[in-house]
Structure 1
Amino acid sequence: MAVPATTSTVPAPTVLGPAQSRVIWLLLAAAFTAVLNETTMGVAIPHLIHDLHITAVAAQWLTTAFMLTMAIVIPITGFLLQRFTTRAVFIAAMSLFSTGTLLAVLSPGFEMLVVARVVQATGTAIMMPLLMTTLMTVVPAHSRGRMMGRVSIVIALAPAIGPTLSGFLLDTVGWRWNFVVVLPIALIALAAGARWMRNVGDTSQAPLDALSIVLSAFGFGGIVYGLSQVGATAGSAGWLVGSLVVGVVALGLFLWRQLLLQRADDALLDLRVFRFSNFSLSIAQMLLLSFAFFGAITVLPLYLQAVRGVDALEAGLILLPGSLAMGFSGPFIGRIYDRWGTRALLVSGSVLAVAVLWVYTTLDAATPVWFIVVMQTVLALGLALSFTPLFTASLASLPRRLYSHGSAVLGTVQQVAGAAGVAAMIAVMSAISITDGAVGDALTAGGSRGAFLIAAVVSLPLLAGAFLIRKPVDDAADAPF
C-alpha cells in the first residue's frame, strides 16, 4: 500500500509569495513554448511534403504521432506529479521537449522527424498538468481565477503567434527554422527552471503499476489513433475499426483496474475525482466545449482557403484578432470569477459560443471576410468566458491530494474530445463535399456548413450545463474523499 501524500493535511495558502510566483511564471513560459511549437506545425505540412518527398498520408504522422503520444502520456501525469518533485518533473519535461526540438533541427529526413515529434510530445504532455496542479497548490483560493486568466493568455497567444510566425519562416528560410526559433527559448526555460524552480507540495511513494500503463497506452492511444483515421482513405477502414475496438476494450480494463488499485491509493489515475459532482459537471462541459471548439477551429481555416480563396497567411491573420481578444481578456475574466463566481461567465460564454457556431452553419462563398473576423472574435470571447471558470472550478472542487489526478483527467478529456471533434467534422465535411461534386481534397461551402452543424448541435447542452456548475464556496483542499 502506498504511503499517503501529506498534501491533504497542508492548509491552503493565503498569500502567494515571491518564490511561488517565480515557479508559476517559469511554468507559464514553458507552457507557452510548448504550445507555440505545436501551432507552428499545421501550416508547415505542405512544405514538409515537398521538401522531404513524402506523401500527404505519411506527413500526417507528424501530427498523429504527436497526438498519440499526448494521449498516452497525459493519463500517467497524475502518478508522476505525486511521485516526483515539482523541480524534477519540470526539468524532465523541458529536457525531453528541448531534446525533441534539437532532434527536429538536426533531422536528416522524415523518420527522425517523427521520432523528434514523439519526444517533444512527451515533454509537452507533462507540462500543462504540471502547470495546473502547481497553480492550484500554491495560489490562494481567492486569487485562482486571476491566475488562471494568465493561463488563458498562454493558451490563446501562442496559437495566435504560431501560424503567422511559421508562415513567415516557411516563406523565407524553410521549415527547419520553426524548430530553430523554438530551441533557444526552450533551453532558456530549462536553464531558468534548473536555477530557480522550487518544489511545491509533498510527494508520495505510490508504486508504478506497469499493467495500468500498458492498458492506458492501448486505451487512449487506440481511441485517438482510430479517430485520426476517420475520413482517411478507404483502405484505412480496418485500422479505424480495429483501433477503436482495441481502444474501447483496453480503456474499460484500465478503468476497472484503477477502481481496484485506488482502494490502496495505488491507482495510476485516481477516479475518485468523479465523486465530486462539480468536477464531473465541469469535465462534461469541457468535453463538449473541446469537441466543438477544436473541430470548428480546424474546419474554419480550410473553409477560408478552399471556399473563400485566401492563402494560409491571410487565414492566420483572420483568426488573429480572436486569439488576441481571448488572451488579453483572460486576466479580467479571472477577476470576475474570483469576485462573482462561475454562472455569469459560463452562461454568457456559452450563449456567445453556441450562437456563433450556429451562424457558422450559414457560411458560403459570398460571406464577407470582415464578418468572419467579427464572428471569430466573438467566438473566442465566448470560449475565454468558459475556459477560465471551468479550469478553476473543476480543480478547486477537489481535495488537494487529487489535484494532480484531476489535472490529468482534464488534459485527457481535452485531448480525446478534441480529436473526436476534428475527426467527426472532417469526415462530415469530406462526405458532403464529395456529394456536392468536389474533386480530390476540395472543400465546398456545403461541406463546411455540415461540419459546423455538428459543432453547433453538440454545443447546445452547454447552455444548460452553464447553470449547474458553481464556484466552490470553500477551498476543497481538506475535504474528505
Structure 2
Amino acid sequence: MTTAPSPLSPATRRSILLLSFATFSSMAAQRICDAMLPELSRVFFVSLAQAAQVVSVFAITYGAAQLVFGPLGDRLGKFRVVTFAALACSIGSVLAVFSTSLDMLVLARLVTALGAAALIPLSMAWVGDTVPSDQLQETLARIGVGTTLGIVGGQLMGGVLTDALGWRWPFAFMALLFTVVGLLLLADFRRQQAALGASLKPGPQAARPPFFKQALAILTGRWSRVVLLMAIVEGAVGFGVLAMWASHLHRSLGLPLSLAGAIVALFGMGGMLYMAVSRHLIRRFGQQGLVSIGGALVGLCALVLAYTPHWLPAVPASLLAGFGFFMFHNTMQANATQMAPHARGTAVSLFASCLFLGQSLGVVLAAALIDRIGTGAVIALGGGVMALEGVYFAWALRRRDARA
C-alpha cells in the first residue's frame, strides 16, 4: 500500500513558480530573434546566414557558460545564482535595444546569454535538491511549463513586435521582463535567507571535489555519455533547425513575420499540450515509447512544414511537432537529472551545455546549407535526423534496462 506524497509548502511552491518565470525568460530570450532574422538581414544589409549570428553566438555562449554555472551553483547556492543571473540579463537586453550595428547586437546577445545560461539548468537542479524524489518528475514538469511557454512567447513576441514596431522592441520587452523577474527572485531569496536565519553569505559547506573531477566522473559514465551525446544531436536538429522555421515560412510562402512567428509559436503550444497529458502518456508508453513516437512525430511534421504549398497545413504540423519534440525532450531531462545526484548542478549543466552547443552547431550548419539546398530541405533533413535519434535512444534505453 502506497501513501500519498506530502504536499509542498506554500513557500516552496512560490519559489518554484518564480523559477518557472525565470525559465520562461531564458527560453524567450533564446527564441526572440527567430522570426526577426529576415528583418535584421534587411536592416543591417547582411545575408540571412550572417544575421543568424544573433542566434548561434547566443547558443555557443549559453552552452559554454554551463561549465561555469554548474559548479558555481553547487557552491554558492543555485537560487542565489539564478537570481543575480536574471538581473544581469536585463543589462544585455538594454544593450540590444541601443545597438547600432550587427556586431554590437551580437555582443549584446552574448552578454544576455551569459546570464540566461544559469536559469534553466540551475532551476532544475534546485528542484532536484529541494523536492522529494516521489514528486520530482511532476515538479520538473511545472518548471518545464515555463520553458515551453518561453518558446511560444519568444517566437510570438519576436515576430509581432518586429512587424508592428521594429526590431528593437522585442529586446525592450525582454529587458523589462528580466528586470521584473530578477527583482521577484531577489525578494524571494531574501525571504528564504530570513527563514533560515542565515546571512546572505553562504555558510560552511562540506568539501566538494573540483569541477573537473566531478565532470570527468560524469563523462566517463557509460549512460551519461549516451545522454550527453543525444543532447548534442537533439540541440542541433531540434532547437537549432527550429530557428529557421519562421524564416522558411516567410520566404517560401510569403507570410508576414508576425504570422510566421505565430505559426512556429504553436511548437511551444504543442509542448504545453504534452505537459497537460504527460502523466498518462508516461504510464501508457514508458520512456522508450515516448522517445520513438516523439521523434517520428517531429520527422513527419517537419516534412509537411518543409514542402506544403499552402500555410494552413503548417499550423497543425507545428503544433504536433512541438508535442512530439517534448515527448522526447522531457524524457531526456528526466535522465539528465538522475545522472549524478551527488553533483546535480554540474550534471544538469553539462547536459544543458551539450544541448545548446548542439543548437549552435545546428544553426551554423543549417545557415550554411540554406544557400545550397534551400530552407525546405534543411528543415526536412532536421526532422529526419530527429526521427532516427528517437529510434536510437529507445534502443539505448532498452539496452540499459536489460543490463539493470
- Distance 1:180-1:381 versus aligned 2 partners, 3 A rule: same
Return the letter of the residue paired with 2:183.
A
Residues 187-219 of structure 1 deviation map (CA, whole Å, 9 limit, x = unaligned): 12121122112369987587xxxxxxxxxxxxx
Q: Does 1:325 align with 2:259?
A: no
Q: Distance in 1 between matches of 2:34 and 2:174?
A: 15
Q: Given the superposition, is the C-alpha separation of residues 363 and 415 from structure 1 closer, same or farther in structure 2, using an over 3 Å criterion?
A: closer
* Residue matched to 1:155: 147
- How many residue pairs get aligned? The number is 389
1:110-189 aligned within 5 A: 110-189=102-181
- 1:390 and 2:390 aligned: no
The answer to whether the 8 Å contact 1:308/1:365 transfers is no
Letter in 1 for 2:59: M
CA shift digits 1:95-141 (9 cap, x unpaired): 21111122223445545433322221110011112111101111111
Shift in Å, 1:317: 2.8
Question: What CA distance in whole angstroms lies between the structure 2 residues aligned with 1:359 and 1:186?
Answer: 33
Query: Of 35, 41, 63, which aligns to 1:43?
Result: 35
**For residues 179-258 of structure 1, what are the structure 2 equivalents within 5 Å?**
179-197=171-189, 198=192, 204=205
Q: Aligned residue for 1:419?
A: 360
TM-score, structure 1 as length reference: 0.70
Shift in alpha-carbon separation, 1:175–1:136, aligned structure 2, 3 A:
same
After superposition, residues 274-353 of structure 1 pair within 5 angstroms as: 274=219, 277-334=222-279, 337=282, 340=283, 344-353=286-295
The Cα shift of 1:267 comes to 2.5
Q: Which amino acid aligns with 2:21?
A: A
What displacement does 1:412 show? 0.9
Cα deviation digits, residues 410-459 of structure 1 (max 9, x gap): 111101222233344444443334xxxxxxxxx5x556545544544455
Instruction: Please name the residue that 2:19 is paired with.
Output: 27
Q: 384, 393, 396: which is aligned to 1:462?
A: 393
Kindly indicate whether the alpha-carbon contact (under 8 Å) linking 2:97 and 2:169 is maintained by their aligned counterparts in 1.
yes
Letter in 2 for 1:374: P
**Is this contact kept in 2: 1:31–1:154, CA < 8 A?**
yes
Counterpart-to-counterpart distance in 2, 1:103 and 1:76: 23
CA contact (8 A) 2:158 2:261 kept: no
Q: Indicate if the aligned counterparts of 2:84 and 2:182 stay in contact, CA closer than 8 A.
A: no
Shift of 1:268: 7.2
Whose Rg is larger?
A: 1
Q: Which residue of structure 1 aligns with residue 199 of structure 2?
A: none
Residue 69 of structure 2 aligns to a residue whose secondary structure is: helix
SS of 1:310's equivalent? coil
Q: Deviations over 1:347-397 (max 9, x none)?
A: 134224225415644777555544333333222222222222321233134
User: 1: CA distance between counterparts of 2:167 and 2:275?
Assistant: 32
- Residue 60 of structure 1: CA displacement? 3.9
Q: Which runs of 5+ in 1 are unaligned?
A: 1-12, 207-261, 434-442, 474-481
Relative to structure 1, is the Cα distance of residues 369 and 465 closer, same or farther in structure 2, using a 3 angstrom cutoff? farther
In the alignment, what sits opposite 1:95? 87
Q: Is the 8 A contact 1:79 1:268 kept in 2?
A: no
Change (3 A) 1:183 1:203: farther
Q: Report what 2:68 is aligned to.
A: 76
Equivalent position to 1:407, from 306, 326, 348: 348
**Which deviates more from structure 2 when the two are superposed, residues 135-144 or residues 357-366?**
357-366
CA distance in 2, matches of 1:192, 1:323: 25
* Aligned-residue CA RMSD (Å): 3.4
1:226-275 alpha-carbon deviations (Å, 9 max, x no partner): xxxxxxxxxxxxxxxxxxxxxxxxxxxxxxxxxxxx9x545375221245
| Paired residues of 2:96 and 2:104 also in contact (CA < 8 A) | yes
Contact 2:148–2:271 (CA<8 Å) still a contact in 1? yes
Judged with a 3 Å threshold, the aligned counterparts in structure 2 of structure 1 residues 367 and 360 are, in CA distance, closer, same or farther, namely: farther
**Matched position secondary structure for 1:270:** helix
Q: Does the CA-based 8 Å contact 1:286-1:414 persist in structure 2?
A: yes
Structure 1 partner of 2:96: 104
Structure 2: 5+ residue stretches without partners: 197-201
Tell me how far 1:88 sits from its aligned partner. 3.2
Structure-2 change in CA distance of 1:144 and 1:469 (3 Å)? farther
Counterpart amino acid of residue 347 in structure 2: G
Amino acid at match of 1:461: Y
Distance 1:76 1:18 in 2: 31
Indicate the SS of the match to 1:137.
Answer: helix
Task: Measure how far apart 1:146 and its partner are.
Answer: 1.2
Q: Structure 1 residues 281, 71: CA separation in 2 closer, same or farther (over 3 Å shift)? A: closer
Could you tell me whether the CA contact under 8 Å between 1:154 and 1:327 is conserved in 2?
no
Q: Which has the higher helix share?
A: 2
Of all paired residues, the percent bearing the same amino acid is 18
SS at match of 2:94: helix
Task: Describe the SS at the equivalent of 1:43.
Answer: helix
What is the DSSP-based 3-state SS (H/G/I as helix, E as strand, rest coil) of the residue aligned with 2:8? coil
SS in 2 for 1:16: coil
